[in-house]
């Protein structure tokens, strides 16, 4: 219920493989959708850690599907219009990461190639933050972004999550992750992100599945 009245928040479900993280996440998804919220999800892959934003791309593709399925509502029309006006020619770069945006924007002209990988990643990070700002600001429903297997998150995704949380300007938007903490060292970037968020006075909750039955 918290995303309806507070700014963004980060929740991490931790536990070893097979202890019930996925079951807990599935129950949470049912609660979110039964109460009118939007639940989108993505899963990181150990073999795709060199690919930027894989799980986030999957989740936002889901959101585009939801927006198209709800096309008749005033809110969906407003969100789609604002996305078009906000991104303009830059939309083609975001559509490379979120292909289902073409269902909202239509076909895109070819983007100019960005040979500098660092600048390309920074451009995408900015566009993704703007995307989240728009959909969370105009949506009448709380949005939950669930990311599984955070222990395998790529560097670009961790940087994006950090920026989303640190900027803390998104209402009705909750980020939930799940990870196998027994496969992560104390110096894992996710723990550094949690520490940074907490040091800035924002909320980062750790849910240990091993303690749920106690």
pLDDT digits (tens, 9 = 90+) for 46-57: 988 888 999 999
Residue 194 · residue 161 · CB < 8 Å: no
- Name the token pair of 23: 């079951």
Residue 95 · residue 76 · CB < 8 Å: no
Spatial CB neighbours of 58, under 8 Å, sequence gap ≥ 6: 41, 42, 43
Of the CA atoms within 13 Å of residue 143, those in its CB half-sphere come to 25
So what's the pLDDT on residue 114?
53
Tell me which residues of the chain have a pLDDT lower than 50: 3-5, 214
CB count within 10 Å of CB 144 equals 24
So what's the pLDDT on residue 5?
46
Going from the C-alpha of 213 to that of each of 164, 177, 209, the distances in angstroms are 32, 20, 8
pTM: 0.88
So what's the pLDDT on residue 106?
77
So what's the pLDDT on residue 72?
67
So what's the pLDDT on residue 208?
85
So what's the pLDDT on residue 4?
43
Residue 187 burial by Cβ neighbours in a 10 Å radius (0-12, 13-18, 19+): exposed
Spatial CB neighbours of 41, under 8 Å, sequence gap ≥ 6: 25, 29, 58, 59, 62, 145, 146, 147, 148
């Amino acid at each position: 219920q918290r995303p309806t009245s507070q700014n963004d928040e980060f929740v991490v479900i931790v536990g070893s493989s097979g202890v019930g993280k996925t079951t807990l996440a599935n129950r949470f998804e049912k609660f979110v959708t039964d109460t009118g919220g939007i639940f989108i999800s993505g899963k990181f892959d150990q073999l795709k850690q060199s690919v930027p934003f894989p799980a986030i791309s999957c989740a936002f593709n889901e959101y585009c599907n939801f927006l198209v399925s709800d096309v008749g509502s005033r809110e969906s029309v407003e969100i789609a219009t604002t996305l078009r006006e906000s991104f303009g020619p830059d939309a083609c770069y975001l559509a490379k990461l979120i292909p289902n945006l073409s269902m909202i924007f239509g076909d895109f002209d070819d983007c100019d190639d960005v040979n500098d990988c660092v600048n390309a990643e920074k451009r995408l990070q900015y566009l993704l933050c703007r995307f989240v700002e728009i959909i969370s600001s105009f949506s009448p429903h709380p949005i939950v972004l669930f990311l599984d297997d955070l222990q395998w998150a790529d560097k670009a995704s961790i940087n994006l999550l950090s920026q989303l949380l640190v900027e803390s300007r998104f209402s009705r938007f909750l980020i939930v992750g799940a990870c196998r903490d027994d496969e992560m060292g104390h110096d894992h970037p996710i723990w550094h992100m949690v520490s940074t968020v907490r040091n800035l006075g924002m909320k980062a909750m750790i849910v240990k599945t091993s303690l749920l039955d106690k």
